[in-house]
Amino acid sequence: MARQAARRSRARSDRSMTRRQFLSTASAGVAGAALLPLTAPWTAGAAPAQIRGSSLRILTWSHFVPAYDTAFDKYANDWGVANDVTVRVDHINIDDLPARVAAELSAGAGHDIIQQNGVIQTTLYYQHWVDVSDVTQKLGQDAGGWLPMAENVAAVKGQWYAVPEFYIPQPIMWRAGDLWKQYNLPEPTTWDNLRTAARVGKSKGHPAGFAISHCNDANHNWRAVFYAFGVQEADPTGREVRWDSKALRDAMKFSRALWSEGMTSEVFSWDNVSDNRYLDSGVAIYIHDALSSLRSIQDSNPTLYANCNVGVPGAEPIGSVRRAAVVDPTILAIWKFSKNIPAAKAFLEHYGADVNFSLTASKGYNMPYLKSWYKKPMPSLGSDPKVTILQDWDKVALVFGYPGPATAPAAEVLSTFVLPDMLARYCHSNDLEGSIKWGVGQIKGIYAKYKS
Amino acid sequence: MANAELVTGPFVHTRPGAFTRQRLRFGYGMLAPAILYMVVLVGVPFLWSLYLSLSDATVGNSVAQFVGLRNFAAVLADSTVRQALRNTIVFTVIAGIFKAVLGGLLAFLLMQDIRGKKVLRSLLVIPWTLPVAISALAWKWMFDPQFSAINYVATRLHLMSGWPNWLGEPGLAMASVIIVNVWRGFPFAAIVLLAGMSAVPLEILDSAKVDGANFFLRFHYIIVPMIAPILFVGLLFDTVFTLTDISIVFLLTQGGPMNTTEILPTRALEIGIEAGALGRGAAIALLLFPILLPVVYFLLRFLGRREAA
């Protein structure tokens, strides 16, 4: 008994605290509580009480920067822990997203938040997505508004049904450090100069490479050229087709010349990663692709990485009309059938505002739609001289359907690869009018189906 | 005697006995899983796609309007769909011929009494058993325009001049997808034929040999007639599998270049799922039906007649 009493007394004296200890602990606690929202950003902005104890399932792609998937999973999980929400993130191949989204709607079950990437179908799905105008309005207000293309991919009739997540820029990656100097090539500020560079490069065993095939790279690479030559897909409402024009003929002639003088027939069979491999092989004088192709050589081929420049003076080369960068947009939407809409909205509001995380964790791959984030230096991009030019991408970035919104028929023109096929036909046959007749016929047919 | 009177005499209503009822219940019970399987996994999806093809359904619009045959008119007016239809037939027929020839040769080879026959049989069916995604990706690398192992080896052995772009040139792209389909499918054809040929009694073949019949005569007059039912069922299976095979084209070419490898299943996927026009996608998928129906009908009718004879 005496031994037990002595032990209790010793334990009590161990737990006792001096006044100084008490004050310093209390001060630290108060300071910690005050600083917590700053150091742990997921708790910034109190999440609604009703989301506590709920769960959240997110469907997104397998990012081309794999480290981003790991970071995003942790980010979502940390947010869940902080807000007492069980979060699960599923990543699938980008090409499988449309089928998965369609299947979830048919089943009326699946994830709470789904991503659309590249082929955006807001105009098809919006009736089944939660109106998130309140979220996008707040995000826009806090960050100087949205880039105009954000509304083109996320809103229908003025209401926002998705939160624009990020877009993927596709800059020119050119061998400024070695081949450009060796061949004394003109600065690639214009598409004409790039045509010259490709011609010279091909004659020296270093052709350029843009896919002219059934892959998404082909869609946005050639749209960038076509838009630079003044091609318009539809009117600003997105209803009337505007492809058939003198600008289309000019763009087709230029593109065929660029291919025949400066590329090989390899490009007719390329997929979305062929240009990455092509750059990595050391053959390409330039390609036109997302940053992942540069990141893939950063460690494996540091010399090549050092010799590669990203983007050209002015961001993208100028054509006969303008500079145009056609980007791959991504959006996040919430199903109406979701049982966790408040949690989904809270997460989107939190994640949508955290551009710093998105830019940094993706090493500058994920470009923001929010204007104020283009204040230089931008996170990740401003500190890396290789990619500083991307800080000007907001001035040239466009999405498919331009100058109209990314409507369902515009998405079908994209997903059925009409543009690359039209160009491939011209490259093979040298029949300009025949190829345009086929391509414009396909496009008009698609638009007509949506009108009937 | 009583049975004979019942058969030949006038129709007599009789109450089935308990034994008959039990047998009927047992019979239908045994059939039920197969019928349920057919109804749920074949009948319902077929009727559903028929309904979709006659509507303006999209992936985002569950309230579809009846549009009659408008989707069929629209897809038949689409030159790419017509091209896909032609490609589908070319793909199926050429691949089918090669699978039959190679499968037959392989079956004869496996019939021979050679050492390591069992191991050889196991190895030869590997292409058929491998997941299509893995084998198609391996082939994609072998057809790669820059790193093609086929081109590398063939040019080193002076079997080929130049550096063909297998998946980038229209004719070669179709040949490539057919090659992969044949590579995957001919072991199946060989197994089917082998099963049939193993059932041919050796005595009949031996007596034909004694009568002076050479290999081709024995094959034509004895083996083929005896294994015809298996041949036709195998042909039916292969035709259906090839006509509906989306994976090889999707993984190798996505229908390119210039839609020269576009087949109906890939076009249906592009329009119905990726573009979201479910009605038109279903109409494209159903274009296969009038092709398959007569093939299946005539094959089954032929088989039925043979059995009756």
Residue A46 has pLDDT above 60, yes or no: no
Instruction: Report the 10 Å Cβ neighbour count for B58.
Output: 24
A125-139, A175-189, B266-280, B293-307: which range is least confident on average?
A: B293-307
Q: How many CB atoms lie within 10 A of CB A432?
A: 15
- The token pair at B27 is 């019979």
Closest residue by Cα to residue B239 from B307, B188, B278: B188
CB < 8 Å to B59, chain A: 101-102, 105-106, 121, 124-125
Query: Residues near B138 by Cβ (< 8 Å), separated by ≥ 6?
Result: none
Residue B73 to chain A, least CA–CA distance (Å)? 11
Domain A47-168+328-397 classification at class level? alpha beta
> Residue B91, SS3?
helix
**Nearest CB to B60 within list A125, A277, A415:** A125
> Are A267 and A212 spatial neighbours (Cβ–Cβ below 8 Å)?
yes
Position B13 scores a pLDDT of 57
The CB-side HSE value for A15 (13 A sphere, CA atoms) comes to 5
B79 has pLDDT over 90: yes
Nearest by CB: B275 against A270, A281, A412: A412
Say which DSSP state B112 is in.
S
The model's pTM: 0.84
A47-168+328-397 against A172-326+417-451: fold identical: yes
Taking only the tens place, the pLDDT of each residue in A97-127 is 988 999 999 899 999 999 999 889 999 999 9
Which residues in chain B have Cβ-Cβ distances shorter than 8 Å to A273? Answer: none
Which residues in A lie closer than 8 A to residue B58 (C-beta atoms)? 124, 408
* Domain residue extents for chain A: 47-168+328-397, 172-326+417-451
CB pairs under 8 A between A and B: 119
Q: What pLDDT is attached to residue B55?
A: 93
Chain A residues touching residue B70 (CB < 8 angstroms): 452
Tell me how close the Cα of A339 comes to any Cα of chain B, in angstroms.
19
Q: Mean pLDDT across the stretch A230-248?
A: 96
Residue B50 in contact with partner chain A when CB distance is under 8 A: no
* Distance of alpha carbon B53 from the chain centroid: 24
Nearest CA in chain B to A119: B274
A441 touches chain B (CB under 8 A): yes
Q: What number does CATH give the domain A172-326+417-451?
A: 3.40.190.10
What is the SS3 assignment for B55? strand
> In the predicted model, is pLDDT for residue A337 greater than 50?
yes
> What is the C-alpha separation between A222 and A229, in angstroms, rounded?
11
B252 vs A: CB within 8 A: no
Binary contact (B59, A125; C-beta < 8 A): yes
- Identify whether the C-beta of residue B253 lies closer than 8 Å to the C-beta of residue B173: yes
Q: How confident is the model at residue A204 (pLDDT cuts 50, 70, 90)?
A: very high
Residue B181, Cβ density class (10 Å: 0-12 exposed, 13-18 middle, ≥19 buried) = buried
Residue A434 touches partner B, C-beta closer than 8 Å: no
* Cα angle A193, A196, A197; round to 5: 90
The first and second tokens of residue A123, run together, are 């105009």
Nearest CA in chain A to B280: A449
A residues 133-192 lying closer than 8 A (beta carbon) to B: none
What burial letters (b/e) apply to B196-207, b meaning 16+ CB within 10 Å?
bbeebeeeebee
User: Looking at CA atoms only, how far is residue A125 from chain B in angstroms?
Assistant: 4
Best of B59, B249, B271 to mutate (most A CBs within 10 Å, chain A): B59
Pick from A268, A441, A445: CB nearest B257: A268
Write the pLDDT tens digit of every residue in B178-192. Answer: 999 999 999 989 988
Instruction: Give the model's pLDDT for residue B10.
Output: 55
Residue A282 pLDDT > 70: yes
Q: What is the 3-state secondary structure (H, E, C) of chain A?
A: CHHHHHHHHHHHHHHCCCHHHHHHHHHHHHHHHHHHHHHCHHHCCCCCHHHCCCEEEEEEECCCCHHHHHHHHHHHHHHHHHHCCEEEEEEECHHHHHHHHHHHHHHCCCCCEEEEECCCCHHHHHHHECCCHHHHHHHHHHCCCECHHHHHHHEECCEECCEEEEEECCCEEECCCCHHHHCCCCCCCEHHHHHHHHHHHHHCCCCCECCCCCCHHHHHHHHHHHHHCCCCCECCCCCCECCCCHHHHHHHHHHHHHHHHHCCHHHHHCCCCHHHHHHHCCCCCEEECCCHHHHHHHCCCHHHHHHCEECECCECCECCCCECEECEEEEEEEECCCCCHHHHHHHHHHHHHCHHHHHHHCCCCCECCEHHHHCCCCCCCCCCHHHHHHHHHHHCEECCCCCCCCCHHHHHHHHCCHHHHHHHHHHHHCCHHHHHHHHHHHHHHHHHHHHC
pLDDT at A13: 45
Say if residue A346's pLDDT is above 80. Answer: yes
Query: Measured between CB atoms, which of A102, A428, A442 is closest to B273?
Result: A102
Vertex B150: Cα angle to B144 and B154 (nearest 5): 140
CB A362 within 8 A of CB A294: no
pLDDT band at B165 (very low <50, low <70, confident <90, very high): very high
Nearest CB to A416: which of B169, B258, B275?
B275
Q: What is the DSSP letter of B287?
A: T
pLDDT tens-digit map of B136-156? 989 999 999 888 999 999 999
Residues β-bridged to residue A156:
A159
pLDDT digits (tens, 9 = 90+) for B187-213: 989 988 988 888 889 899 899 999 999
pLDDT tens string A15-33: 445 555 555 555 544 444 4
Q: Which residues contact B300 (CB under 8 A, 6 or more apart)?
A: B236
Taken in order of first residue, the domains within chain B and their CATH numbers are 17-53 (no CATH), 79-308 (1.10.3720.10)
Q: Which residue of B has its CA nearest to A443?
A: B78
Average of per-residue pLDDT across B33-40: 93
Q: What is the CA angle B194-B197-B199, rounded to 5? A: 115
Check CB contact of A430 with chain B, cutoff 8 Å.
no
Per-residue pLDDT tens over the stretch A284-306 = 999 999 998 998 899 899 999 99
- B168 shares contact with chain A (CB less than 8 Å): yes
